[in-house]
Each structure stands twice: as structure tokens, then as C-alpha cells.
Structure 1
């Protein structure tokens, strides 16, 4: 019957509602008289019947006017029941009036009783249907625990009452004062009861609602939950909810920065603003992972103009649209200029820098994917080495005040062409800094950033969703990690501290073992690792071997000559470099080798430079190997 009512068409439901009310109103009048006279057979004459009929008709018309038959019963809110009460009040007045005109002589007390009987008879079925539908709907929802019985946890529980996916089973909280309390009908349990709750009630997910808890505390809690075989999800941060970036019910996977347990140091506003506020700023590679975040951070410092320079058309369009929206949200009147182009066109770069009077450049344009550059040596060197040189020479010619290179930890004792090319780019800027003093050059070196286009985290998440396996190159491989916003803020602050030719190194925190990271991500997804000891596990780890040019671990310093700065996360390194004539001679020879596509000569020249480049095995360059194979075939 309930399924029939729920699945019936709207006209059928309205007919059923009207029919029920047509019967219920006279029944409510009968109940009121029976209660008044204390008899199941009260004295009812024709006058009373006439008054009851008039009241019923007027009541139905009133309900129509109040929109009660347009309301969906299963979703009736408090406002709809207020309208029902108003309709019953009008019905009672109608009953009093009609009894007067028909001389029915109904006792006045029966009219008051009628208000209660009518509300009971007309309202109870509506409440009953809404309750049944809610319970049916909630029974299909997955039960979840909410970790955190504070303001954010309660707000999340309220938001989930309308969810089609989850229903809150209970709260978990570490506060002894809250434990065993009932909040909105949900019991608050201690953390050590999680295992019992999950086993008894087949709960598979826990939602974190931790408010403003520090990242270090989040890490401690998440690591504790990692052994519970629960999928750990998290509610948006308070700041994102307040700013409108997210809604409370938009639960998502645990952010990987929560696993790293590293709290960001509050950026120094004077360093962020020094080279950006009210200046003309240009970012090369503006559509990339780091470049786009540099654009966001720069825009918030309100430059006079922000110029986005990018080779990829779609990436440029996407970041431009995002920055326009960000500018509108924060009421920033900075002019945003999008320019398509390559950093390998020096005359084009110089024209842009001169035309707009660029004062600060953040050079993020580079090929950064290690295996891809190993397979495409000439283009990697062209973009990373000569792109940096041409951009720097154009900056000098156009009178740019400050030029900041985004470097990498792979430039330290590189074992791949990408790292060697980035170290070569550093050597160029160091030599140019000595050759002239008009444009201040500095470079900022750091490791992997979370969520970048080459990060392992998105790859692992996709592999887990697909059921595995998770592919890791080596069981002992370790990497440093930092969030993109933190890295970008530190780059801007370090650039403001430069005095000319500086190599800045960011404190990346503790290194992370990639295998451990993968295992944590498996457990936080509520799954188990498939091993020889656990053959029925969900996700298997597969080791594929180090890729061309890949190292087990990365370094941030070549030598031990490192000094601290005023900023706790920024250090400066004093490292060997060439004079400009030596650098220029090496660049000319490298340019000729690239022009003639002599891959082996390009690699040998990189080995000759003071970059501490250590080649591993034969070059996997596609064109070189294809040409060698073709030569062998002809012979």
C-alpha cells in the first residue's frame, strides 16, 4: 500500500488526499461531539449533519487555497503543518458559523475539542507517511560514524539528514565530557569503541569533522584510524565552508597533506608584497601546477598587471578564467593579460617585457617529467636550458627588476637530463648575476609538490578506485613533499629576499617513503593490502623498477655550504658556478649540438658542465635509438 501511494501519479495522490480529508473532517466533528458528551452515539440531528457538510466543503476549499494538496507529503516541512493548523482554525470557525445558521446548537466546548481532533485526524497520517518514507529512505543509506561531536560534526550530521548516500549512526569524540551524551538523538562514543561499533553494525566509513584541528593532530588521528579497516573521509574545512568554496555535506577523501602532518608557517606579508604589490608581474608556464598557483598567490597581492605567459592554449584559458573569478570574488581590480608564446623566442619575450614594462618575473616554464625528458633529450634541453637563458637575456634587455627561477631538487647531483638541464639553468642565472647588476636573478629549489601533474598521489588514488594494483618503482624509494600553495608562497618570499645569484632551498620537512604512503592510502580507503600472507586482500603493490634517470632519493644541496635566513623554511646555498665567458662558450657548443640533433654530444656537454651530472646507462632518447637501429638495419 505504501509503495502504491509513493509511486502513484500526482493527480491520483491529490484525489486520495481530498477523499481522505472529505471523510476525516466529519469524523473529527463526530469525535469532538463523542468526547464532549461522553458517548459513542452522541445526539446528531439533521442540523448538525448540515453544519458538518458545510464545514467539510469549506475546509477542503481552504486546504486547496493554502496549497496543502500541492505539498509533497513525504517532504512536508514545519511550514506546511503551520498551514494545516491555519486551515483547521478556519474549519473550526466555519463549523461555529454553520451551526449558528443551521441552528445545530453545538456546545462551544465541542468546537475547541474539534480543533484537536481535526489536527490529530488530518495531521497524523501526513506525519506517519513522512516518517515512514524517511525511515525507508534512511534504511537504504550507508551508516557512517562522525569523528568530532563539535559544531562542525553536528552541522555535518544535520546536513546528512537529507543525504541519499549516508546516515549518521553515532558520533566519536576524544573529549571525555561529551562521551556517552546524546546529541540530536545520536550517542557520542569514545575512540576505543570504534572497532566494536564497526563489527556490530557493519559500518565501513568514518567522516572526519575536526574543525580547526592542527595538521599535526589530524595526522596522529588519521594514522590511528588507518588500522581500523574503515574508509576515512573528511568534511570540508571551516574556512572553505565560510568562504562558500564548499558545503558541509561535501565529504571527500582525506587530503594527503593531512597524512604528512606538516603545519604551514604563516607567510610574511611584507615578503609576499615586496615584488608584487602595485607592480607589473609576469609568470611563465602560467598554466602549469606551480605556475598557476604562483598566479593565484600573486593576484591576491594585487599587482598593477598580472601577465600570464603560456605555450598551451587550453591551460592558459583555464587559468585566466579561474583568476578572473578569483579577482571578482576578492574585489581585485588587477588587469589580467594572457599571452600565448614559447620561452624559446627571445625577441618575442623582449618585446613583451618592454611593451608592458614588466618588473618581476617568475620563471616556472619547464619540462619536468623525468622519463619524458629522458626520451626527448634535445627538446628538454631546449626548453629548460635555452628557454631560461633567452628569458633571462630578454629580462636584462628590457630592464626587468627581478627574475626568480623555479628550480628542483632533481638539479642536485642529477642522474637524469631533466635535473641536469635545471642545474644548467641555475648556472646560467648565476653567471648572468655576476655579468650585470641591473636585473636581480635568484632561484628557488624544492622537491615534489602534492597534486602536481607528476605527483604519485592522484595516480595512487586512481589505481585504488580501479581495484589496483598500485605501481611503485622501488620498495625503498623516498621523496620530499610539500603542498603547492605552501611551495608557491615560499617561492615568492624567497624571491623577495634575493640579493643576486642566490640559490634558495626550501625546507621540505621529513622525507616520505613512497611504499608507506601507498599502504596508508589503501588502509584509509577501507581496504587491505594483498600480499602472500594476505592473499584475499583488496589491493596489491607492484614494484616496476626505477624509470630512466630516476633516483631512490632526492637531495636539496650539492655541498654543505648552507646558511639559514630570516625565514624558518628558507635556506640559502653557496654552490660552485662558472664565469659568464665559460658559461657562454658551453651554451654555444650545446646550442650547436641541439641544432644538429646530436643527442650524445648534448649529454656529454651536460656531463662536462659543473652540474655533478651522473649518467645512468645508455640514453633512452627515442630519436637517437631509432636512428641507431635504422643504421644497423642498413648495414
Structure 2
């Protein structure tokens, strides 16, 4: 195809595009010069009856036209997008270049150059320049129409990455109305190659080159197997362009069968973290879970549901789903039944505050492993009117699930804890720290069961978190609300958190608290800015508004208290917290009394008595 050949030539010339355009335009000036002589003097005389200095005059004319063309920015325009405005600019170049050339020739008294040639040549140049550009645009649009078919949507993309994923992507999206303009890949061996009829223009740094993004509406990241750091770098470069950025599913999503490579999606916040995938000890996890009865409390929540999915991969004999919300239980049951049809499910609506029900369930199901993920986690909601119920659910609930687990001979009990349990300043964090202390208590009381806790920070995409809120605000056109310009948080993905919880369950001895490697803390305002940019907007269009810290909220979260230290474990993403101090003799008695005392439903009373249970709790 003619356009494909021209496109290959254009790709070779792309690094020196402006110089190449000047040379092509110069060749067209020469063509127009000879055509003008032919028109003026006829076929017999046009070549032979010329002055000896004709070639010198022609070189001078080329120099004048090139100078005017450069001054008006003509070489910077892409021919495939030539418009009426561009033709108008060419007209001004021809007018200026023609007048300047004629004046110089006349002043130099080069009388053998026909005056008619000087007068007609600018028009000939305009015609040849315009025809050349319109021909390129016509071939470009014909090629694009063939690729788009009848389903024209106006979406024109550059694909970042030129591997197997990009090839499959192009084949898929071009049938859905997309036009792939070009590919960018940092592998120099691929530069200049063609894939599914599309040229690899160069490396990702081409995004910053002039003309690369002409008429492009989207960027698509097609690097599912790249490292987290490589994907993060590509996303940062893409965000700087101001265009909407999409991506193909990650390697994990493809492996789990949740999506196809040709189904582009919006950039999710976990794409921005640039974290490497968790490497699990699969054989140890299989030995822990395979053939066992596993119970998950809070099975329909963000963490609980992902834990269920990860556990189901290793073939438990039975998976017991214990959940207070009927709707959440239905959702996870449907999801697991579709993904893992061979895993038997026990679906139970139940409340962790109901000890008789917990005992009945565990004595009937006899779980080998219990993962306790049921908790109220939204800091502002739990700070005042719901403070007492937060204590009853998060702390008393943990006490009762752990008690029932020990009584029925569960092998391992794992509490899902939080970084907000460290030096807590809010009720939610204090109740989770008290839950960790409950685990330490039962570890000494029930030697037949291994009790442990796993502590981590914010999980991207979990219900009630800031990221889904940002996405909703961006979709509505803003503004995006952030509590404080300097507030930072630790983040990890839901699958990453669930996998590390399982890995900790393999490693833990009774009474231990594990801390996950959360990476570097992320400034929330910076994350909001990246999400705005990757949606194709600017802060001028979707502003960020700072609303002020909410009750109980910290500027900076911690993963360990000041008096704590950590030890390395066999897994590089897990560390073992050594928590100092023992529980007072009457601690459990005071906890149970507080959980049953309805006078503690007054928030100020609850905070005061909770401080007595958790001395490091400092209400704000």
C-alpha cells in the first residue's frame, strides 16, 4: 500500500522531520520553477534558452522561500493533518518569498530571467506544495478509514509498548473504532519495525517531541509484564502530556482470567504505586490451606472478599463465609461460585458480637484456619456517635471470635489489623490496637491455637476509602477534596494485602504481630493530582480543595509504635513486630465491662475509658 510505504519513509525521517520538510519543499520549488519556464517558453525553448546564471538564481529563490517558510513555522506542521489554515500559511510564504525573490532579481539587473517566470512561479509553488500536502492527507485518511471500518469514533491513540500485548491490543481495538497512530517502545531493536500495520516510532521519550501528539486523543499503556517501576515511569511520562491515559489489564488480571488483553481500562490508583508483585511461597501456602476448612469473618468486605479469592486458589476442602451484610455475602458467594466452582462454600449471615452463634458455627464447621477481617474501619464515622459500637465490633468481636476459635481447636487464628493501631489518635485505631492486645491474651490462654495479627496501611480501592471518592469527584467534574496538603498515607493493593496475610499465616508463631512492607508513604494531594492528569484534565479544570483534617485524623500514619522494634522474617515484605509490655491482670475484665456498659455509648466517656485500656491512645 502506498501509504504504508510513505509511512515507513516518514518514520525514518521523523527525527529530522523539519529538515526533511524543507528539503522536500525545496524539491517542489525546483519542480515549480521548471514548470513555470515550460508554461512561459514552450516545449522547444524551456530548457535550452535560459541564462547561464539560472541555477544560481534558483538556489537563491530556494533560500528565500526556505527562510520565510521557517519564520512562519511551516516545517513544524504534519502533512497528514493539513487544513485550510495551513494552505493559507503556505500562501503567505509564497507571496513573501515570491516578492522578495523578484525584488532581488530586479535590483541585481538579471534581465535574462523572464519577468513572467518571476510573476508566475509563486503560484506554481503554492499549487505544488498544496497538492503534495493534500495527497498525503488523502492517503492517510484512506488508510485510517480502512483500519477503522464503518465504526468511526474519533479515538486516535498512541500505544506505549510494542510487545505481544500491543499486537493483540491493536488487533482488538481497531475493530471497535480506534485508530492506532503509532507505537513507542524503549527497546531500540524495535524502532522502525511495524506491528499489525503500525510503525514503532521510537522510545517513550518521543512523547515529549514536537509533533508526536498531533491529532492524538488517547495514550494506551500496553506493558502488562513490565516491572512496577517501568510501568510507573511510563505512566508519569504519559500523565505529563495532558491526554487521557488508558491501560491494558495487568499480568495478574490476565492470569486470573478477569479480563482480556484487548479490553482497555482506565488507570487505577494501584497502577500508580509502581510496586512489584508479591512473591508467595506457593508450596507452603498450599500445604497450609489445601484440604483444610477455612473460615473468613467479614467475608464480603474489601479485604475479606479478596482473602476468600486467594484462599480458594489453594483448594480448601471448605470455605466458610461469615458476614453480617446479606448483600455483601451474596456478592462474594456469586463471585466465588463463578471463579472456583469446585470449592465448597458455607454461606452464613452472622455477627461477631454474638458469641453463642460463633460457638455454634465453629462447632458445626470445625474450621482449621480462621481469618478475622470483620471490622468497622471508617475513622470519622466511628469517632463520635458510633464509638461504642466500634469498640464492641472491633475489640469485643475479636475477643469472641478468638475465644470460640480456641475452644473448638482451630489451628491458626489471624487478625487483620491496621497501621492506625499504632499510637492511635482515633477510636477506630484504638479499638484495633485493643484487638491486637486481645490476640496476645488468647495466645497465652489457648496454647493449642496459634494466634497472630497482621498490620498494614490503607488498601487501594477498598470501600469507604479516599481513592473511590476521588474517582467519583473527577467523574463529576470536581472539585477533588483533600483534607490537608501535607497528609500522607501508606498504600497497597487489595490482592497484595491478602497475599501477605496468607504468607504471614504460614510464618507466624503464636502471639506475634506482623508488619507489611508498605513502601514509601504517598502524599494524598500528589495522588489526587496524578489521577486528575491521567483522566485527561488539568487542575484548572478540576481543582483540588483542602477541607481540613477530620476528627481523629493524623497527618502521618505509622506502622510501629515508638517503643516497638521489628525483626526480619524469611519473606522480604513481612517484618515481625516485637511489642513490649504485658497486659494488666484486670485488663480483660475492664474490656468486657466496658463493652457491656451502655453508659459508654456517650463518646466522651468511651474515649476516656478506652484510654485506660490503651494507654498510647491520645484522643484529638
When normalised by structure 2's length, the TM-score is: 0.73
**Which residue of structure 2 aligns with residue 380 of structure 1?**
390
Contact 1:209-1:234 within 8 A present in 2 as well:
yes
Paired residue for 1:287? 300
The answer to whether 1:566 aligns with 2:575 is no
Write the distance in 1 (CA, Å) between the matches of 2:471 and 2:456. Answer: 24
CA contact (8 A) 2:278 2:500 kept: no
Residues 1:145 and 1:344: Cα distance change in structure 2 (over 3 Å): same
Give the secondary structure class of the aligned counterpart of 1:434.
helix
Q: CA deviation at 1:320?
A: 0.7
1:216 aligned residue = 229
Label 1:138 to 1:344 Cα distance change in 2 as closer, same or farther (>3 A).
Answer: closer
1:162 maps onto 2:171 in alignment: no
CA-CA distance at 1:253 after TM superposition: 1.3
Change (3 A) 1:134 1:444: closer
Distance 1:198 1:306, change over 3 A: farther
Deviates more, 1:393-402 or 1:466-475: 393-402
Whole-Å separation in 2 of the counterparts to 1:195 and 1:289: 39
The residue correspondences of 1:59-458 to structure 2 (distance < 5 A) are 137=150, 140-164=153-177, 166-190=178-202, 191-196=204-209, 201-237=214-250, 240-241=253-254, 244-328=257-341, 333-375=342-384, 376-458=386-468
Equivalent residue of 2:585, what SS?
A: helix
Alpha-carbon shift at residue 577 of structure 1 (Å): 4.4
| Partner residue in 1 for 2:552 | 549
3-state SS of 2:380 partner: helix
For residue 53 of structure 1, what is the aligned residue in structure 2?
none
CA RMSD in angstroms comes to 2.3
Q: Which stretches in structure 2 are left out of the alignment for 5+ residues?
A: 1-141
Report how far residue 209 of structure 1 moved. 1.2
Cα separation, 1, equivalents of 2:408 and 2:599: 27
Rounded Cα–Cα distance in structure 1 between residues aligned with 2:195 and 2:249: 21
Q: Is the 8 A contact 2:148 2:179 kept in 1?
A: no
Q: Deviation of residue 523 (structure 1)?
A: 1.5
Question: Aligned to 2:392, what secondary structure does the other structure show?
Answer: helix
Q: How many residues align?
A: 476
The unaligned stretches of length 5 or more in structure 1 are 1-128, 531-537, 617-635
Does 1:539 pair with 2:538?
Answer: no
Q: Please report how far the alpha carbon of residue 585 of structure 1 lies from its aligned counterpart in structure 2 after TM superposition.
A: 2.2
Could you say what secondary structure the match of 1:516 adopts? Answer: helix
Aligned to 1:100: none
Equivalents in 2 of 1:174, 1:144: separation in Å?
A: 18
Q: Which moved more, 1:483-492 or 1:270-279?
A: 270-279
* SS at structure 2 position matched to 1:161: helix
Compared CA separation, residues 140 and 509, structure 1 to 2 (3 A): closer
- Against the structure 1 CA distance between its residues 547 and 131, is the aligned structure 2 distance closer, same or farther, given a 3 Å change threshold? closer
SS at match of 1:249: coil
Task: Tell me the distance in 1 between the aligned counterparts of 2:616 and 2:450.
Answer: 25
Structure 1 range deviating more: 443-452 or 603-612: 603-612
Answer whether contact 2:293 2:367 (CA < 8 A) is retained.
yes
The answer to whether structure 1 residue 480 and structure 2 residue 501 are counterparts is no
1:296: how far off?
Answer: 0.7
User: Normalising by the residue count of structure 1, what TM-score does the alignment of the two structures yield?
Assistant: 0.71
Measure the CA separation in 2 of the matches of 1:142 and 1:131. 11
In 1, Cα distance between the equivalents of 2:499 and 2:252? 19
Q: Is the 8 A contact 2:303 2:373 kept in 1?
A: yes
Contact 2:594 2:600 in 1 (8 A): no
CA contact (8 A) 1:507 1:570 kept: yes
Q: CA deviation at 1:324?
A: 1.0
Aligned partner of 1:604 in structure 2 is 608
The 8 Å contact of residues 434 and 580 in structure 1, kept in 2 or not, is answered as no
- CA-to-partner distance for each residue in 1:88-136, whole Å, 9 max, x for gaps? xxxxxxxxxxxxxxxxxxxxxxxxxxxxxxxxxxxxxxxxx99978767
Instruction: After superposition, give the CA deviation of every residue in 1:458-482 in whole Å (9 maximum; x if it has no partner).
Output: 2212211211111101000000011
Query: After the TM superposition, which of the residue ranges 307-316 and 486-495 deviates more from structure 2?
Result: 486-495
User: What's the CA shift for 1:255?
Assistant: 2.9
Query: Helix, strand or coil: the match of 1:177?
Result: helix
Retained in 1: the 8 A contact 2:376–2:393?
yes
- Hey, what's the Cα distance between the residues in 1 that align with 2:415 and 2:251? 35
Cα displacement (A) at 1:386: 0.9
Question: C-alpha displacement at 1:547, in angstroms?
Answer: 0.9
